[in-house]
Amino acid sequence: MAAALDLDILALNAKALEFDQRLRKVKDANPLPDCDWYPYPTLSCFSLMSDLLTGENRKILTLSKGLPVLDLGCGDGDVSIFLDSLGLSVDAVDHSTINCNRMEGVYALKRLMQSSADIYAIDLDSQFGLPRRYYGLTLFLGVLYHLKNPVYVLERLAERSHYCVLSTRIAASSPGRQGDLKDVPVAYLLDEAEANADPTNYWVFSELGLARLLKRTGWKICDYMTKGDPNKSDPSHNDADQRAFCLLRSIWAHPADMALGRGWHELEYGAYRWTERIFSVDLDRPATGGRTLTFRFHLPPVLLHQIDGPISLRAIVNGVALPERAYSTPNAHTYQCELPSDVGQNCHVEFVLDKAMPPRERDRRELGILVSFPTEEDSHYRPITIA
């Protein structure tokens, strides 16, 4: 895998082209019994990325930092199986109800290529969950305009993936060029058969609309390009198809050097998470051998009122208990302790509160304390560090 992570996009595309020839031979020799293979050349995405990516981003796989890759809307899994062949850990996701062959293709191709990529059938228009807590890179190509709820999906991805390569249809005018959309952040809602007679097509954004959508859902655009004529593009006609391609960086995902364990609730407003009474995190000590554990958190006044009194917190690092601290005032606090000399390089830290707010009728979560996470304005902030 290390060699694959260091590939420039041109070298990666060359490998993809070679792999595509193998896949074509396999598919031609093994027709699906009751349906057809996905008809579009999905591995061509790497050729498009060679036009999109700039600078250090051209080593696209290094952005994953060795974390799993998510291929969302995988079709027959060509991209997933290719990346798996390079040694990456890959999850291939599609929705069997709207996949062109009900996902028979991706399962067949995994078997025929003896791939270890994991396959999941997930409906992104539901209150979905993803197979893993975190991904280094998500490939989200040609899916956005098929979603009923693009805001919800992009928010969930921003919490779970550090980077994303996204492509989607955009439009500079309404159908028939009846309205100019270039300078307004809007989306056009397609009728059932309005575009390519495909009822799974929903929202086509203007260029400004897509930019605002990404900003509001926790993403920063790193590289961007469009394909197609902006002077005639509209949401529905085949000869007026324009596409946007983006490399995105999440400003909501946890820091790459910190892996959250159990006891954390979902990110709220792109800024903070509640914990449960017991919660954990995995950290690496710096090469210089940091010895001080620092944890910054908040005690909301409502929490202290509900639990009636001070709250105590202790940390257990690789099974070694650190001193307990008590906190009786609201708002910002810091728990800080020296680590024992023999604690090791990789640290599993479990935090334990002596009490928490129990589930209530309107909120069935157990609530411990509130922890702020980095935002774009403060991207170097770390709530938990060893230094």
Q: What phi and psi, each to the nearest 5 degrees, are found at residue 270?
A: 65, 20
User: Does residue 378 carry a pLDDT above 70?
Assistant: no
CA distances from 161 to 74, 90, 130, 156 (A): 17, 13, 11, 9
Amino acid type, 368: G
Tell me how long the chain is. Answer: 387
Tokens 């950290």 appear where? 283
Query: Average of pLDDT values for 213-229?
Result: 96
Encode pLDDT of 158-201 as tens digits: 989 999 999 999 999 999 777 889 899 999 999 999 999 999 99
User: Does residue 336 carry a pLDDT above 80?
Assistant: yes
pLDDT band for position 309 (cuts 50, 70, 90): confident
Amino acid type, 125: D
For residues 258 and 44, the model is more confident at 44
Q: Report how far residue 17's alpha carbon sits from residue 21's, in angstroms, rounded to the nearest whole number.
A: 7
For residue 169, count CB atoms less than 10 angstroms from its CB and return exposed for 0-12, middle for 13-18, buried for 19 or more: buried
Tokens of 61: 């796989």
Q: Please provide the average confidence, as pLDDT, over all residues in the chain.
A: 93
Multiple choice CATH, 258-386, 2.60.120, 2.60.40, 3.40.462, 1.10.10:
2.60.120
What is the distance between the terminal CA atoms of the chain, rounded to a whole angstrom?
30
Query: Average of pLDDT values for 46-57?
Result: 98
pLDDT band for position 376 (cuts 50, 70, 90): low
For residues 209 and 231, the model is more confident at 209
pLDDT for the residue numbered 287: 64
pLDDT for the residue numbered 229: 94
Query: Average of pLDDT values for 103-119?
Result: 98
For residue 296, count CB atoms less than 10 angstroms from its CB and return exposed for 0-12, middle for 13-18, buried for 19 or more: middle
Domains 2-250 and 258-386 share a fold: no
What are the sequence ranges of the domains in the chain? Answer: 2-250, 258-386
pLDDT for the residue numbered 284: 81
CA angle, residues 243, 248, 251, in degrees to nearest 5: 145
CA nearest to 218, candidates 160, 147, 154, 274:
154
pLDDT band for position 253 (cuts 50, 70, 90): confident
pLDDT band for position 37 (cuts 50, 70, 90): very high
* Architecture of the domain whose range is 2-250: 3-Layer(aba) Sandwich (3.40)
Query: Average of pLDDT values for 37-48?
Result: 96
User: Does residue 24 carry a pLDDT above 90?
Assistant: yes
Q: Report how far residue 165's alpha carbon sits from residue 146's, in angstroms, rounded to the nearest whole number.
A: 16
Half-sphere exposure of 103 (CA within 13 A, CB side): 17
- Percent of the chain past pLDDT 90, that is, above it, reads 81
User: Does residue 61 carry a pLDDT above 70?
Assistant: yes
Amino acid type, 170: I
CA angle, residues 253, 256, 262, in degrees to nearest 5: 70
User: Does residue 333 carry a pLDDT above 90?
Assistant: yes
Query: Average of pLDDT values for 228-250?
Result: 95
Tokens of 32: 């699906």
The model's pTM? 0.84
Q: Report how far residue 233's alpha carbon sits from residue 298's, in angstroms, rounded to the nearest whole number.
A: 49
CA nearest to 182, candidates 207, 212, 215, 203:
207
Q: What is the CA radius of gyration of the chain?
A: 24
Q: What phi and psi, each to the nearest 5 degrees, are found at residue 56?
A: -65, -20
Tokens of 62: 């290094």
* Least confident residue range of 15-29, 223-237, 249-263: 249-263
pLDDT for the residue numbered 379: 63
